[in-house]
């Protein structure tokens, strides 16, 4: 008999499949012997066979597998060897639904580059091809856009945009329209002396902060009227695109404070907690700021010019950033005495343009790159979960949408949506 055959005990591993998925997706807990060279695809076939035997109505689907909290991305025997795990023991394999897009929506063409997306509020999106509103007010390209979720009625939304024209614009509009509607800004924020590159909204939604090519971070009030001194009426504007509609005052606001410390462009800002802002810069640094004092409280030098930044993970305490190399890095500011990243993901082939944590998962991120790809990541493995290649040019921005989709925009003037991404949120994450 061939000693390299599947019957050789040295080429088999005894495993027990376990899961936290609901009952219809739970395989029998007994152990079985499987070929040691199986990849996750082969392991998925076995689990699907076990589930089909228990329930003839089961529909086969891909699974991922965890050993001691780490995703298996190598053939089983290679993984065990790399981790120093004995093949003699019964290996407990926890299986979860594979995280990958199951559908690519038809792309939505634009007139120019799609440089900013925000998927935090799904109400404005009908589908990938229907434009419902056109926000007007800037005289140059828009670099960043964010919803201001003020808890109003479902049909009323606020949006802030940043632009190369050195200003930010605030918009409010009704989503219950059936045709594209042109909306003018109700408030313009001026004070930066160079292009505004990024904008973030504070958790209370009463303030916003912006980062600029003038190396500064500015804070602005979302509210404000002629009485409180924050704004002055600059002109009247029509509320409709035609000249017959009623006119409405447009206000101009000034910054409430300015944070100085960066020496080059502030390329990204995020505001995860009321008193804490994080910023990333082309000066290679990620900085933490105390909102009340305006003082820098943490400074981490990455060695690369940075383009993007986001906070997430457990208790939103981890920082992900990417920039002028193909590596997405994650830091933990809670770890004293070290500024080294705790995770590095290096499957992109060019600069990273955007990174976003999943809004409900400690483990999952999305990144986009000038290599034309959008990648999905899980902290429990160094390999990407999926690579989405919907764009034909640089991808400039990306975000999660509705929890199970990823939206992205690029230099190919397309907005793309990859949907059907199943992420099962653990109880620990919910808590």
Instruction: Map residue 174 onto helix, strand or coil.
Output: strand
pLDDT, position 332: 92
Residues 6+ apart with CB under 8 A from 26: 19
pLDDT, position 224: 63
Strand 247-253 relative to strand 187-190: parallel, antiparallel, unpaired? parallel
Burial readout 146-171 (b: 16 or more C-beta within 10 A, e: otherwise): bbbeeeeeeeebbbbbbbbbbbbbbb
E strand intervals along 213-317? 217-221, 231-238, 247-253, 257-259, 266-273, 276-281, 285-290, 296-301, 306-312
Residues 6+ apart with CB under 8 A from 61: 44, 48, 97, 98
- Give ∠ CA 130-134-137 in degrees, rounded to 5: 165
Q: In angstroms, rounded to a whole number, what is the distance separating the alpha carbons of residues 32 and 29? A: 9
Tokens coding 173: 């509009």
Is residue 125 within 8 Å of residue 147, measured between CB atoms? Answer: no
Tokens coding 338: 């070290």
pLDDT, position 73: 92
Instruction: Enumerate the CATH 3.10.20.90 domain ranges in the chain, comma separated.
Output: 12-97
Comparing CA positions, the residue from 312, 310, 290, 287 lying closest to residue 300 is 287
- Record the pTM: 0.88
Helical (H) or strand (E) element with 292: none
Q: Which is it for the CA torsion 33, 34, 37, 43, positive or negative?
A: negative
Between the alpha carbon of residue 91 and those of residues 41, 143, 187, 226, 321, the distances in Å are 17, 50, 61, 68, 35
Q: Alpha helices of 211-292 — where are they, by DSSP H?
A: none
Q: Which is it for the CA torsion 387, 388, 389, 395, positive or negative?
A: negative
pLDDT, position 241: 45
pLDDT, position 314: 87
Instruction: Enumerate the CATH 2.130.10.10 domain ranges in the chain, comma separated.
Output: 103-224+248-419
Laid out side by side, the sheet with 276-281 consists of 266-273, 276-281, 285-290, 296-301
pLDDT, position 232: 46
Which class does domain 103-224+248-419 fall in? Answer: mainly beta
Q: In angstroms, rounded to a whole number, what is the distance separating the alpha carbons of residues 402 and 410? A: 20
Is residue 330 within 8 Å of residue 320, measured between CB atoms? Answer: yes
Is residue 406 within 8 Å of residue 418, measured between CB atoms? Answer: yes
Structural fold of domain 12-97: Ubiquitin-like (UB roll) (3.10.20)
Strand 257-259 relative to strand 247-253: parallel, antiparallel, unpaired? unpaired
Q: Which residue has the tokens 């457990």?
A: 314
Tokens coding 364: 């999952």
Count of CB atoms within 10 A of residue 312's CB?
25
Tokens coding 322: 């990417």
Q: In angstroms, rounded to a whole number, what is the distance separating the alpha carbons of residues 269 and 216? A: 11
Q: In angstroms, rounded to a whole number, what is the distance separating the alpha carbons of residues 3 and 22? A: 40
Tokens coding 201: 């909204």
Q: In angstroms, rounded to a whole number, what is the distance separating the alpha carbons of residues 247 and 237? A: 5
Write the DSSP symbol of residue 210: E
Strand 296-301 relative to strand 306-312: parallel, antiparallel, unpaired? unpaired
Q: What is the pLDDT along the chain (431 residues), one digit of tens a residue?
A: 333 334 444 589 999 999 999 999 999 988 999 999 999 999 999 999 999 999 999 999 999 999 999 999 999 999 999 999 988 889 999 999 999 999 998 888 888 999 999 987 755 555 556 777 888 999 999 999 999 987 655 567 899 999 999 999 999 888 776 666 788 999 999 999 999 999 999 998 889 999 999 999 999 999 764 334 344 455 555 544 444 444 456 789 999 999 999 999 999 999 999 999 999 999 999 999 999 999 999 999 988 999 999 999 988 899 999 999 999 999 998 887 778 899 999 999 999 999 999 999 999 999 999 999 999 999 999 999 999 999 999 999 999 998 899 999 999 999 999 999 998 775 445 44
pLDDT, position 223: 79
Q: In angstroms, rounded to a whole number, what is the distance separating the alpha carbons of residues 143 and 199? A: 9
Comparing CA positions, the residue from 47, 106, 71 lying closest to residue 390 is 106
């Amino acid at each position: 008999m061939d000693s390299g055959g599947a019957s050789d005990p040295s080429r088999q591993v005894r495993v027990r499949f376990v899961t936290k998925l609901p009952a219809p997706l739970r395989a029998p807990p007994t152990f079985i012997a499987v070929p040691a060279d199986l990849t996750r695809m082969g392991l998925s076939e076995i689990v699907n066979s076990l589930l089909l035997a228990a329930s003839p109505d089961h529909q086969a689907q891909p699974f991922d597998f965890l050993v001691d909290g780490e995703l298996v991305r190598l053939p089983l025997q290679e993984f065990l060897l790399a981790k120093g795990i004995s093949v003699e023991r019964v290996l407990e394999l926890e299986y979860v639904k594979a995280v990958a897009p199951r559908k690519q929506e038809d792309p939505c063409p634009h007139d120019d580059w799609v440089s900013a997306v925000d998927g935090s509020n799904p109400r404005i999106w009908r589908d990938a091809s229907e434009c419902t509103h056109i926000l007007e007010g800037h005289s140059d390209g828009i670099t960043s856009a964010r919803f201001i979720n003020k808890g109003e009625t479902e049909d009323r939304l606020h949006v802030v945009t940043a632009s190369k024209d050195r200003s930010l614009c605030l918009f409010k509009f009704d989503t219950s329209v059936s045709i594209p509607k042109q909306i003018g800004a109700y408030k313009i924020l001026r004070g930066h002396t160079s292009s505004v590159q990024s904008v973030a909204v504070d958790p209370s939604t009463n303030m916003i902060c912006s980062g600029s090519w003038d190396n500064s971070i500015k804070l602005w009030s979302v509210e404000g009227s002629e009485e409180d001194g924050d704004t002055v009426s600059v002109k009247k504007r029509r509320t409709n695109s035609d000249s017959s509609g009623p006119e409405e005052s447009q206000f101009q606001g000034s910054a409430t404070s300015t944070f100085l410390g960066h020496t080059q462009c502030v390329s990204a800002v995020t505001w995860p907690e009321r008193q804490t802002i994080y910023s990333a810069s082309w000066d290679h640094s990620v900085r933490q700021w105390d909102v009340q004092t305006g003082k820098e409280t943490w400074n981490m030098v990455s060695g690369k010019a940075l383009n993007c930044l986001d906070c997430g993970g457990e208790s939103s305490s981890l920082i992900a950033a990417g920039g002028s190399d193909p590596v997405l890095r994650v830091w933990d500011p809670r770890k004293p005495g070290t500024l080294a990243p705790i995770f590095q993901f290096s499957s992109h082939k060019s600069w990273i343009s955007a990174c976003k944590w999943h809004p409900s998962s400690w483990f999952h991120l999305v990144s986009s790159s000038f290599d034309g790809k959008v990648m999905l990541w899980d902290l429990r493995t160094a390999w990407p979960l999926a690579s989405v290649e919907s764009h034909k040019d640089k991808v400039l921005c990306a975000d999660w949408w509705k929890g199970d989709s990823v939206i992205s925009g690029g230099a190919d003037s397309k907005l793309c949506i990859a949907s059907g991404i199943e992420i099962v949120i653990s109880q620990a994450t919910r808590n």
